[in-house]
Amino acid sequence: MDEAAIRVLVVDDQVIVREGVCLLLSQVDGIEVVGEAGDGQGAVARAAALAPDVILMDLVMPGMDGIEATRQITAARADARVLVLTSYAGDDKVIPALEAGARGVLLKDSSPADLLRAIRHVHEGRS
């Protein structure tokens, strides 16, 4: 893959969602999936080990949720770029995720084009 590729870590506890997103991203020039995690603890560990450019983070997961994982990841690495990918649009999830350091939120029912655009925006430092 191109050296300038956006390196992405995909975090979701639902295997079919995680694998589907990874499959989609693996077919896009300029994006490289560097890892996956199925829970918040795995996300924190993989983010530290892999230093991805963008972390796609689910919010509702068993054990450590995506909000706490985002908080820990951004506390450890101020330049971490977390993009929340969730089914939950409520303020009770979205606002705490943004307060924890997420750079943006995208609903899982968004189009693949919207997901790719959001990844690129977050990678560029935009919200």
The per-residue pLDDT for range 2-22, each reduced to its tens digit, is 568 999 999 999 999 999 999
Helices (H) and strands (E) in the chain, counts: 5, 5
pTM of the model: 0.94
Please, what is the average pLDDT of the chain? 94
Edge-to-edge strand order for the sheet containing 31-37? 31-37, 6-11, 54-57, 82-86, 104-107
Q: Residue 29: is its pLDDT beyond 90?
A: yes
pLDDT at residue 88, rounded to an integer: 83
pLDDT at residue 90, rounded to an integer: 81
> Residue range 37-64: average pLDDT?
97
pLDDT at residue 3, rounded to an integer: 62
Residue 97 per-residue DSSP state = H
Q: Percent of the chain beyond pLDDT 90?
A: 89
Residue 1: which pLDDT band, with cuts at 50, 70 and 90?
A: very low
| Termini Cα distance of the chain | 26
CA 26 to chain centroid, in Å, comes to: 15
